[in-house]
A and B are shown apart, each in its own frame.
Chain A
Amino acid sequence: MATRGFGAPVQRTNDSRLLTGGGHYVDDIPLAGALHVAFVRSPFARARIKRIDVSAARAHSGVAAVYTADDLGALDVEMPLLIPHPCLIGPRTQRPLARGDVHHVGQTVAMVVAVDRYVAEDAARLIEVDYEPLPVELDLEKAIKSDAPLVHGDVKNNIAAHFVQTSGDPDGAFARATHFTKIRVRVERSTAAPMECRAVAARYDTVSGELTVWDGTQAPISVRGGLASLFGLDEDKVRVIAPDVGGGFGQKVLLFYPDEILVPFAAMRLGRPVKFIEDRSENFIGSTQERTQIHEIELAATKDGDVLALRDSFLHDTGAYIPYGIAIAQVASTSIAGPYRVPNIWVEFKAVYTPTVPVTPYRGCGRPHACFAIERAMDQLADELGLDRFEVRRRNLIAPAQFPYTRQGLLFADGLAVTYDSGEYAKALELIAKEIDVAAFRQEQATALKAGRYLGLGLAFYVEGTGLGPYEGGHVKVHPITGKVYVNTGLSGQGQGHETVFAQIVADQLGVDPNDVIVVEGDTGVFDWGVATFASRAAVVSGNAIHKAALKARAIVLEAASNMLEAAIDDLELVDGKVRVKGTDRGATLAEVATATNPLRYAFNKAAQSATQFAPAARHDGPQLGEGRAPGIEATDYYAPPHATWAYGVHAAIVEVDPGLCSIKFHRYLCVHDCGNMINPAIVEGQVMGGVAQGVGGAFYERVEYDVDGNPRNANFMDFLVPYATEVPRVEMHHMETPSPLNPLGVKGVGEAGCIAVGQVLASALDDALKPFGVAPFREVPLSPNAIFEAIEAAKGRRP
């Protein structure tokens, strides 16, 4: 069977297992005698704890232990600040259990460990906590005023970070410009809402002294390192496994959540396995969220619409803590100029504490905010200059010959200057314009309007810095008995399809079927060098590391086979699981080559006979394993990207607004997308589709709401509206493949792409559809029927 790996729409190898209930998530790990955890969480956004009485809970039948901050010893400290940055002012992180003050509703105050979750919840209700409520300010702009109540008493004006970056000469360019466009936009808070909430289980083996932790995390190696250092254990005595994980979207890259420390702690203390399975209510108040930013962006342009400079100043809501540093705000501020040249840039942000669930990256991580700000501004610039929205973009796009395009002075999330590596931006814009057939749409729109129907065209261009370092590794090994290929990397998957694309990469080099490549990732017991899954980096960083390891393995195979077959390496080919002498039927299976490269004493099967010391093929003058040689076909290599690689795309939609119901209907949703060489177009499409679905949520449905006292108002799936399949449009997808020059595979990341542009697509489509009413441009997402109603009413009110 001829196999094509890289570039083929290979069916995901894990789907039948996952879709038929064969997955093994943390809660499916059988742990005999496991105890279960429930938390007491703060009902106040800000309060001082006066007294905690756990006596009734401790006495409750079935309770094994109850812990408060007083019981944690050395663990009663603030958890790590993961990404320090000089601009952080008094960075604050959470303690596993609150001591003294609480800083958001949902913060963990006490932990109950009991025979099952039912009893644990019953006992948690018996814990009495006296709180003295403290004043709060939820409004981001009021929170930075000097009279605002503080989230942390020692952090002035609630400002957690303040950062300014400059590229080029923005002041000079502003002085030169002849047209200025200034707008203010707002993106609201959302949450990742993974299908599987977070989960941690731990078992401590007192005989071996080994701690095993199953954690639905995106960062098992980092969790392992952290746990070893917190508990004073050798790293080799801690094994962290991320088994099947039902979606992460960034929420699961944060370490540590309190449970990730306290579950292993309790397992060691109590000498029994312990499990914490987060429920949906807890996920809404205990696991991190993202999105709220308020941008004031100003473009300085010529009358022809050439944007010479931009200034952007924004507030970023970081919630009650800032454990992940400034990552989101930094990505937003450095992605702010999108695909446009804009050679002069000034960006400033303030990260602001609010007494709400802490904020860490969620799929998009600052990119949707930046896209919304720059694209809304470009639309307004077009309107003000009387230019078509396509034309104003066309005039500012970076041309192919201008790559690599560096924005000196703007440091991206990897600490390096923003450098777009490759792209065909204008071609992408022309492609989507052609696919929509803008002229035909304008006619259709005019005809519809005569019939009282309101159609609008939405458009958004975005860029996405992906594939951040520092590095990942790949390990490839051919099993001598089966000839199957085992592949490992350190990061972990949450449903993306790693096991399929990594298999495709290796299958090409070793000439095997992708189904014969078994990928195991996310288990420190198997491979423990690497970082984590974030920033659309798995295919770029692990993919290239695995590719490099596969090249090494291929070289070993060829050299060994050359000896075995007495043929020159150049005359060999790897195909159908065999090494063949080209143009002949002479060859050896991969299993035979693997067996032959592993000198044996015992012939435990037929194939092994050829590798024992008296077998003719193994006869050798020197030692059986040559000096400097390793047995078998096995290779490890690493890949560290020089800097981020920049994917991009254009989205457009035709939307109908019903001004009676104030509802929307997507007639078409189009996407032109370029993530470099595609390893698997089907998986790329899945990633983009899923991103668009999540983007539709952020554009029209999802908003995490707090009341003025900081109480969550819609922390459940009845009131927090995740779009159903019925709300998500079919996406017409068009691929472009401009290879990245930065890595051997020429790939760019795709994980976040789909969600970035949707807010702008919808806002611009609504602007266009509701133009006959004279509505003001939409400046906030999520939009809603109520927002459409108010916009139309406001326009009516303005009419003479």
Chain B
Amino acid sequence: MKPPLFDYVRAETVDEAVAARAAHEYSAVLAGGQSLLPTLNFRLARPDALIDIGRIKALQGTAIDGDEIVIRAMARQREVEYDEAIFAANPLIRETLGNVAHAVIRNRGTVVGSIAHADASAELPALLLATGGAVIARGPKGERRIEANAFFKFHMTTSLAADEIAVAVCIPRLPPGTGYAFLEFARRHGDYALAGVCALLTMGAGGRVASARLAACGIGSRAVRLVAAEAALNGQKPDAASFAAAAKAARDAVTASDDRQASIAFRKHLLEHIVGRALGMAHGRAGKPFAS
């Protein structure tokens, strides 16, 4: 478990990092290193260069820019989790981050890194999908914005080009009164979820659901929107019957095959169950001020 030889480039600016990425055929970007370093030690990845972006000042921290929360590439998960302004703007972020691995991992791991890594079982890609966020990528041709629904292609595969670096993610502010919940089930505290779900409920006129947004992780080859479940809710009264119908509709989103922890049948059962519970939680919070 020792990595093969690689070049190490410590970039001082984003331009330097982008240039280094262009200069190497197969480079990897080192931010928090919580997924990359084990991958190297297992020799599952053999990049010819690691581009360390940890010292780049422009990639540190977070900002709230109008209706968007901007989380830059070096913002640690723990830093985002504890940020009160971010919580006030979108409390689902803190709730989701609380389920990401363990505190010591979140101390070093970055939000952008986890999203760019795009593990199919990871929580943060589902968060980005559910909230309708985007990834900001920087490459030799400049900067572009990739919407969440166009970003995640497959397990650990994104639409980021080989010469691009994810420099930030943007997550929309939640309108006040939005009901929200993140719920997952993992074998052990802090593990990747066997199934996890982000739920957002916006109530409309007549006490009916104006808009439901649901995204899940751990159930297929990438994080996915639960569109059938959303459709089953939109325009409905938020009650046990509509939640149960939505939860049932979510089952077909499971595309993962049997694995060592869960059969397809169990995963469908789990997803149905946690969608139902997450909707209940989200509904309970709808129309109320965000409070921790």
Mask, B239-262, CB within 8 Å of A = 1, is: 000000000000000000000111
Q: Which among A121, A724, A726, A786 is the interface contact of B262 at CB below 8 angstroms?
A: A786
Whether, in the assembled complex, B141 has its beta carbon less than 8 Å from a beta carbon of chain A, the answer is no
**Which residues of chain A have C-beta atoms less than 8 A from B189's C-beta?**
724, 726-727
Nearest residue, chain B, Cβ from A714: B260
Given A726-B189, A793-B265: A660 touches B260 (CB 8 Å cut-off): no
**Which residues of chain A have C-beta atoms less than 8 A from B260's C-beta?**
705, 713-714, 719
Question: How far, in whole Å, are A400 and B194 apart by their CA atoms in the complex?
Answer: 50
A727:B261 contact, CB within 8 angstroms: no
B1:A280 contact, CB within 8 angstroms: yes
Whether, in the assembled complex, B289 has its beta carbon less than 8 Å from a beta carbon of chain A, the answer is no
Q: Which among B185, B261, B265 is the interface contact of A661 at CB below 8 angstroms?
A: B185
Given A121-B2, A280-B1, A786-B263: A661 touches B187 (CB 8 Å cut-off): no
Whether, in the assembled complex, B270 has its beta carbon less than 8 Å from a beta carbon of chain A, the answer is yes
Whether, in the assembled complex, A226 has its beta carbon less than 8 Å from a beta carbon of chain B, the answer is no
Whether, in the assembled complex, A11 has its beta carbon less than 8 Å from a beta carbon of chain B, the answer is no
B187:A701 contact, CB within 8 angstroms: yes
For residue B43, give the distance in angstroms from its CB to the closest CB of chain A: 8
A660:B265 contact, CB within 8 angstroms: no
B188:A281 contact, CB within 8 angstroms: no
B265:A789 contact, CB within 8 angstroms: yes
**Which residues of chain B have C-beta atoms less than 8 A from A716's C-beta?**
42
Given A117-B2, A660-B273, A661-B273: A785 touches B266 (CB 8 Å cut-off): yes
User: Taking each of A279, A280, A661, A724, which has the highest tally of chain B beta carbons within 10 Å of its own beta carbon?
Assistant: A661
Q: Which among A280, A660, A785, A789 is the interface contact of B187 at CB below 8 angstroms?
A: A785
**Which residues of chain B have C-beta atoms less than 8 A from A793's C-beta?**
265
Q: Which residues of B21-59 have CB atoms within 8 Å of chain A's CB atoms?
A: 42-43
Nearest residue, chain A, Cβ from B274: A661
**Which residues of chain A have C-beta atoms less than 8 A from B266's C-beta?**
662, 785-786, 789-790
Nearest residue, chain B, Cβ from A281: B1
Whether, in the assembled complex, A414 has its beta carbon less than 8 Å from a beta carbon of chain B, the answer is no
For residue B251, give the distance in angstroms from its CB to the closest CB of chain A: 14
**Which residues of chain A have C-beta atoms less than 8 A from B269's C-beta?**
662, 789
Question: How far, in whole Å, are A662 and B5 apart by their CA atoms in the complex?
Answer: 45
Q: Which among B2, B43, B188, B262 is the interface contact of A701 at CB below 8 angstroms?
A: B188
Given A724-B188, A727-B189, A793-B265: A660 touches B1 (CB 8 Å cut-off): no
Given A121-B2, A122-B4: A723 touches B262 (CB 8 Å cut-off): no
Mask, A512-524, CB within 8 Å of B = 1, is: 0000000000000
B4:A721 contact, CB within 8 angstroms: no
A662:B1 contact, CB within 8 angstroms: no
Whether, in the assembled complex, B140 has its beta carbon less than 8 Å from a beta carbon of chain A, the answer is no
A663:B4 contact, CB within 8 angstroms: no
For residue B114, give the distance in angstroms from its CB to the closest CB of chain A: 15
**Which residues of chain B have C-beta atoms less than 8 A from A721's C-beta?**
187-188, 191
Whether, in the assembled complex, A441 has its beta carbon less than 8 Å from a beta carbon of chain B, the answer is no
**Which residues of chain A have C-beta atoms less than 8 A from B191's C-beta?**
721
Interface size range on A against B: 20 to 34
Whether, in the assembled complex, B277 has its beta carbon less than 8 Å from a beta carbon of chain A, the answer is yes
Q: Which residues of A637-668 have CB atoms within 8 Å of chain B's CB atoms?
A: 660-663
Q: Which residues of A608-632 have CB atoms within 8 Å of chain B's CB atoms?
A: none
Whether, in the assembled complex, A784 has its beta carbon less than 8 Å from a beta carbon of chain B, the answer is yes
Question: How far, in whole Å, are A662 and B194 apart by their CA atoms in the complex?
Answer: 12
Given A661-B273, A721-B187: A784 touches B5 (CB 8 Å cut-off): no
A784:B261 contact, CB within 8 angstroms: yes
Question: How far, in whole Å, are A570 and B262 apart by their CA atoms in the complex?
Answer: 72
A724:B190 contact, CB within 8 angstroms: yes
B1:A786 contact, CB within 8 angstroms: no
Whether, in the assembled complex, A118 has its beta carbon less than 8 Å from a beta carbon of chain B, the answer is yes
B5:A122 contact, CB within 8 angstroms: yes
Nearest residue, chain B, Cβ from A793: B265
Nearest residue, chain A, Cβ from B276: A660
Question: How far, in whole Å, are A76 and B187 apart by their CA atoms in the complex?
Answer: 45
Q: Which residues of B261-286 have CB atoms within 8 Å of chain A's CB atoms?
A: 261-263, 265-266, 269-270, 273-274, 277
Mask, A689-714, CB within 8 Å of B = 1, is: 00000000000010001000000011
For residue B147, give the distance in angstroms from its CB to the closest CB of chain A: 31
Q: Which residues of A712-764 have CB atoms within 8 Å of chain B's CB atoms?
A: 713-714, 716, 719, 721, 723-724, 726-727
**Which residues of chain B have C-beta atoms less than 8 A from A705's C-beta?**
260
Q: Which residues of B165-219 have CB atoms within 8 Å of chain A's CB atoms?
A: 185, 187-191, 194
Question: How far, in whole Å, are A224 and B161 apart by their CA atoms in the complex?
Answer: 58
**Which residues of chain B have C-beta atoms less than 8 A from A726's C-beta?**
188-190
Nearest residue, chain A, Cβ from B273: A660
Question: How far, in whole Å, are A701 and B189 apart by their CA atoms in the complex?
Answer: 12
For residue B207, give the distance in angstroms from its CB to the closest CB of chain A: 27
Question: How far, in whole Å, are A117 and B5 apart by their CA atoms in the complex?
Answer: 12
**Which residues of chain B have C-beta atoms less than 8 A from A785's C-beta?**
185, 187, 194, 261-262, 266, 270
B185:A663 contact, CB within 8 angstroms: yes
Question: How far, in whole Å, are A784 and B187 apart by their CA atoms in the complex?
Answer: 9
For residue B73, give the distance in angstroms from its CB to the closest CB of chain A: 25
Nearest residue, chain B, Cβ from A792: B269
Question: How far, in whole Å, are A324 and B273 apart by their CA atoms in the complex?
Answer: 48
For residue B36, give the distance in angstroms from its CB to the closest CB of chain A: 14
Question: How far, in whole Å, are A723 and B187 apart by their CA atoms in the complex?
Answer: 9
**Which residues of chain A have C-beta atoms less than 8 A from B188's C-beta?**
701, 721, 723-724, 726-727
Question: How far, in whole Å, are A587 and B265 apart by their CA atoms in the complex?
Answer: 79
**Which residues of chain A have C-beta atoms less than 8 A from B265's C-beta?**
789, 793
A786:B277 contact, CB within 8 angstroms: no
**Which residues of chain A have C-beta atoms less than 8 A from B190's C-beta?**
724, 726
A660:B5 contact, CB within 8 angstroms: no
A279:B263 contact, CB within 8 angstroms: no
Question: How far, in whole Å, are A784 and B261 apart by their CA atoms in the complex?
Answer: 8
**Which residues of chain B have C-beta atoms less than 8 A from A122's C-beta?**
4-5
**Which residues of chain B have C-beta atoms less than 8 A from A786's C-beta?**
261-263, 266
Question: How far, in whole Å, are A793 and B2 apart by their CA atoms in the complex?
Answer: 45
Nearest residue, chain A, Cβ from B184: A661
A281:B42 contact, CB within 8 angstroms: yes
Question: How far, in whole Å, are A280 and B41 apart by their CA atoms in the complex?
Answer: 11
**Which residues of chain A have C-beta atoms less than 8 A from B43's C-beta?**
121
Nearest residue, chain A, Cβ from B1: A279
Nearest residue, chain B, Cβ from A122: B4
For residue B117, give the distance in angstroms from its CB to the closest CB of chain A: 14
For residue B102, give the distance in angstroms from its CB to the closest CB of chain A: 8
Question: How far, in whole Å, are A727 and B273 apart by their CA atoms in the complex?
Answer: 22
**Which residues of chain A have C-beta atoms less than 8 A from B270's C-beta?**
661-662, 785
For residue A60, give the distance in angstroms from its CB to the closest CB of chain B: 12
Nearest residue, chain B, Cβ from A784: B261
Question: How far, in whole Å, are A784 and B266 apart by their CA atoms in the complex?
Answer: 11
For residue A453, give the distance in angstroms from its CB to the closest CB of chain B: 15
**Which residues of chain B have C-beta atoms less than 8 A from A724's C-beta?**
188-190
Question: How far, in whole Å, are A662 and B43 apart by their CA atoms in the complex?
Answer: 36
Q: Which residues of B49-85 have CB atoms within 8 Å of chain A's CB atoms?
A: none
Nearest residue, chain A, Cβ from B261: A786
**Which residues of chain A have C-beta atoms less than 8 A from B277's C-beta?**
660
Question: How far, in whole Å, are A724 and B186 apart by their CA atoms in the complex?
Answer: 13
**Which residues of chain B have C-beta atoms less than 8 A from A117's C-beta?**
2
For residue B139, give the distance in angstroms from its CB to the closest CB of chain A: 32
**Which residues of chain B have C-beta atoms less than 8 A from A701's C-beta?**
187-188
Nearest residue, chain B, Cβ from A659: B273
Question: How far, in whole Å, are A786 and B260 apart by their CA atoms in the complex?
Answer: 9
For residue B232, give the distance in angstroms from its CB to the closest CB of chain A: 19
Query: Would you list 19 pairs from A and B whose C-beta atoms are within 8 A, ordered by A residue?
Result: A117-B2, A118-B2, A118-B5, A660-B273, A663-B185, A701-B188, A724-B188, A726-B190, A784-B187, A784-B261, A785-B194, A785-B261, A785-B266, A785-B270, A786-B262, A786-B263, A786-B266, A789-B265, A793-B265
Can you add 6 more A-B contacts, CB < 8 Å, to A724-B189, A785-B270, A789-B269? A661-B274, A662-B266, A726-B189, A785-B266, A786-B262, A789-B265
A interface residues with partner B (beta carbon < 8 Å): 117-118, 121-122, 279-281, 660-663, 701, 705, 713-714, 716, 719, 721, 723-724, 726-727, 784-786, 789-790, 793
Minimum-distance CB pairs A-B, first 3: A726-B189, A279-B1, A660-B273
